[in-house]
Structure 1
Amino acid sequence: MESVLADDGVRLWASRSGTADPLVLCHGGPGLWDMFEDMTALPAPLSDAIRWDQRGCGRSQRCDGPWTTERFVADLEAVRRHFGLGRMTLLGHSWGAQLALSYALAHPGRVRALIYVSGTGIGPDADWHPAYKANFLARLGEAPALLARWRAAPNGSRERALIQWSVEFEDRRRAPEHAERMADPWFGVNTACNAALNAERARDWGTPELYPACRRLETPVLIVDGARDIRPRSAVDSLERALPHVRRVTLEGAGHLPWTEDPEGFRRAVASILRRVRRLR
């Protein structure tokens, strides 16, 4: 385990595994922590990775923010510099996919490749959030007692998170087990961070400037979707159309965490872009 010092003095938890060129992983949330242990337990290239907790979250130093994408991009730059990486391959999941894309747009020369997992595209929230909310409530509504427990649980509590995360998996039988593993260890949801960054996304994401910025991005991008994600995958079409060097892989039997429900399919997809990038060196 290592401590990365951000340029404003906040310390970020980080961990490196493996010996080859590492994937730098950006976890979801916002306001959560690195939950990639299952992913990095898979064979290379996924086992060669740098994991880190975003500021004020998980094992990183508690602080008062600021909770902005610009600040989190600067923190990711501090991670890159701490580990002495010239260019890095970024893998971001969910909110972390948006963060990784934002970093690549800000620092294209420092990103060898971008792996964009279970993101929500570059359009406005209206492209996906109403359908996501409806799908979420419909799936929870299959078990009315569970829906009632979720509504009664305090925001940010472990109980509410476990119920919410269980909806993310297509395999309903194993969903509670997967959610329990996500919550172990439990560090608590940073609700202030979550609220601020979600509000920023709703306000600023989907603006016209994003589309030409993505069209100018020369970085190779792999988009990985779980076909059974309750966030409509059509939301990502806007990003796919804008990127000049993109490949998209959809894993049919997987939900929002595709490496959990189709680990071999996920590993093959990631290995394919890394082989491509190495040929281009």
Structure 2
Amino acid sequence: MPIAELNHQGLYFEDSGGSGPAVILAHGFLMDGRMFDAQVQALAPEFRVIRWDARGFGRTRWDGKPFNLYDSAADCIALLDHLGIQQAIVGGMSQGGYCALRVALRYPERVRALVLMSTRGTMDEEEVRAGYRQVRDLWGTPGATENIVQNLAGGIIGDARFHSPWLDRWRQTPKANFVAAMNNLIERDDIKNQLGDIRCPVIVFHGTDDAGIPHAQGEYLHKALPNSKRFVSVPGAAHAANLTHPEVVNPPLVEFLRALA
């Protein structure tokens, strides 16, 4: 397995290789790099696509210590260093988008452009954070976990045709991993007033039926980022729009990336 020992983590990644412009993608909460299968198929080999599993999820060997989004941003940069990539198009879905925004803020010289999917640049409302805390505390409780999995499946993925194999992976998530990753979301810092500092080209995608992050937040992000080139609304898509609706996401994504050359 491609594991890079970086920042005291065993970071799992996949690299399509090739000499094309590098695109590095970070996944959403409870997901892993496999959620970008359709994007890799559409982009490689014209683009070199790297995807990685964040701490607590997928096949990354997490050290068990608390982490925040700046730790994830540092993991992203460390992986680029490991691969000898000086600058990349940085992308992410939901949690991965939070990470991508912070990569752009902390390491602007390393970011050629941003691809933001189903994410936001503002804080969650207190009601939303309270719900997250409740889910966090109930995870691993007999009977509760399955209900949470089913509810999250509807909210994150939506279309039941795409639930397999994700639900089985979610059920295997240890309590410690779930708690640390949820705290990472709940306790993230407010970067709303820094969005104007991100000057690289951006494309924003958002599903119209996203219950996790309202569609209006995607529109706000597009307007708040001074060099956002396009907002792509994905009709009928829930949170993981790139997973369920690649036929809508991939063509404008390819067009955006080609225009950067």
Question: Into which bin does the TM-score normalised by the smaller protein fall?
Answer: 0.7 to 0.9
The answer as to whether partners of 2:39 and 2:246 remain within 8 angstroms in 1 is no
227, 233, 251: which one pairs with 1:268? 251
Which residue in the other structure is 1:181 paired with? Answer: 165
Q: Per-residue CA shift, 1:162-198, capped at 9, x if unaligned?
A: 5521443454xxx1x3111334666832543443454
Return 5+ residue gaps in structure 2 as ranges. Answer: 133-140
State the SS of the aligned residue for 1:92: strand
- Aligned CA distance change for structure 1 residues 249 and 32 (closer, same or farther; 3 Å): closer
- Deviation, 1:93, is 0.6
253, 256, 259: which one pairs with 2:236? 253
Q: How does 1:39-188 map to 2 (within 5 A)?
A: 39-40=38-39, 42-45=41-44, 48-119=48-119, 121-126=120-125, 129=128, 153-155=143-145, 160-171=148-159, 175=160, 177-183=161-167, 188=172
Q: Per-residue CA shift, 1:47-83, capped at 9, x if unaligned?
A: 7411211124321114212321222111111111111
Query: Which has more radius of gyration?
Result: 1
Please say which of residues 31-40 and 18-27 is displaced more in the overlay. 31-40
Return 5+ residue gaps in structure 1 as ranges. Answer: 134-150
The answer as to whether partners of 1:67 and 1:193 remain within 8 angstroms in 2 is no
Please say which of residues 235-244 and 110-119 is displaced more in the overlay. 235-244
Q: Aligned equivalents of 2:151 and 2:193: distance in 1?
A: 39
How many residues are matched?
A: 248
- Aligned CA distance change for structure 1 residues 230 and 152 (closer, same or farther; 3 Å): farther
Q: CA RMSD in A?
A: 2.9
Identity of aligned residues (%): 25
The answer as to whether partners of 1:34 and 1:53 remain within 8 angstroms in 2 is yes
Q: Per-residue CA shift, 1:77-118, capped at 9, x if unaligned?
A: 111111111111112011111111111111111011111101
Q: Aligned partner of 2:143: which letter? A: A
166, 175, 194: which one pairs with 1:213? 194
TM-score w.r.t. length of structure 2: 0.81
- Deviation, 1:274, is 0.6
218, 221, 232: which one pairs with 1:239? 221
Query: Does residue 1:230 correspond to 2:211, yes or no?
Result: yes
Q: Aligned partner of 1:222: which letter? A: I
- Deviation, 1:249, is 0.7
Q: Aligned equivalents of 1:187 and 1:74: distance in 2?
A: 28
Please say which of residues 178-187 and 233-242 is displaced more in the overlay. 178-187
Q: Aligned partner of 2:163: which letter? A: A
State the SS of the aligned residue for 1:36: helix
